[in-house]
């Protein structure tokens, strides 16, 4: 078969029929891959950090330095960025934060939360006492 005959064979009906099923399979595989990656399940994987935009931070938290705030249900967690210790809203140390896994672990080793992104968590700062405090001597 010479070169001219090979080129003519590629553009005949038989050549198109052979290429069309492969194209259909590749097109279908591409559509399925795009649909799989664009599903909403990937967006809910880090659901803990996505809920911080409409979060009401309580005013009675005990912090000694600017710290990360995380709420799980009705429980508040404060993550100290220098030591990566985790405390409850009252200031009691209850665990540690693992930066590689994004997990809050209790002192007994139980995982409280996982896949947290500190960059998405709000910061809370220590409150400065008001300068309008008045000292009262209660002994007199």
Residue 63 covered by a domain: yes
State how far the Cα of 71 lies from the Cα of 77, in Å rounded to an integer: 6
Residues 75 and 25 in one domain: no
Residues 19 and 86 in one domain: no
Q: pTM, whole model, 2 decimals? A: 0.53
Beta-carbon contacts of residue 84 (< 8 Å; ≥ 6 apart): 96, 97, 98, 99
Residues 112 and 63 in one domain: yes
Residues 53 and 25 in one domain: no
**pLDDT in the model for residue 23:** 77
Residues 52 and 114 in one domain: yes
**pLDDT in the model for residue 47:** 46
Domains identified in the chain, total number: 2
Residue range of the domain that includes 113: 47-124
Residues 66 and 120 in one domain: yes
Residues 85 and 111 in one domain: yes
Residues 94 and 72 in one domain: yes
Residues 33 and 51 in one domain: no
Evaluate whether 49 touches 114 at the Cβ level (below 8 Å). no
- Our separate counts of H helices and E strands in the chain read 3, 7
**pLDDT in the model for residue 32:** 79
Nearest to 98 by CA among 83, 76, 119: 83
Give mean pLDDT in consecutive 10-residue pieces for the chain, a chain of 140 residues: 52 54 79 71 43 64 84 89 89 91 92 91 78 69
Residues 9 and 54 in one domain: no
**pLDDT in the model for residue 18:** 53
Nearest to 61 by CA among 126, 131, 105: 126
**pLDDT in the model for residue 49:** 45
Residues 25 and 78 in one domain: no
């Amino acid at each position: 078969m010479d070169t001219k005959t090979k080129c003519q064979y590629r553009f005949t009906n038989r050549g198109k029929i052979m290429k069309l099923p492969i194209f259909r399979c590749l097109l279908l595989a591409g559509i399925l891959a795009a649909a799989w990656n664009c599903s909403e399940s990937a967006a809910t994987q880090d659901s803990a950090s996505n809920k911080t935009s409409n979060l009401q931070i309580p005013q009675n938290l005990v912090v000694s330095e600017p710290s990360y705030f995380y709420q799980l249900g009705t429980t508040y967690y404060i993550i100290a960025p220098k030591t990566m210790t985790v405390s409850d809203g009252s200031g009691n140390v209850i665990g540690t934060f693992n930066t590689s896994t994004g997990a809050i672990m209790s002192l007994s080793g139980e995982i409280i939360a996982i896949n947290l992104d500190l960059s998405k968590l709000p910061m809370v700062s220590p409150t400065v006492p008001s300068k309008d405090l008045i000292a009262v001597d209660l002994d007199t």
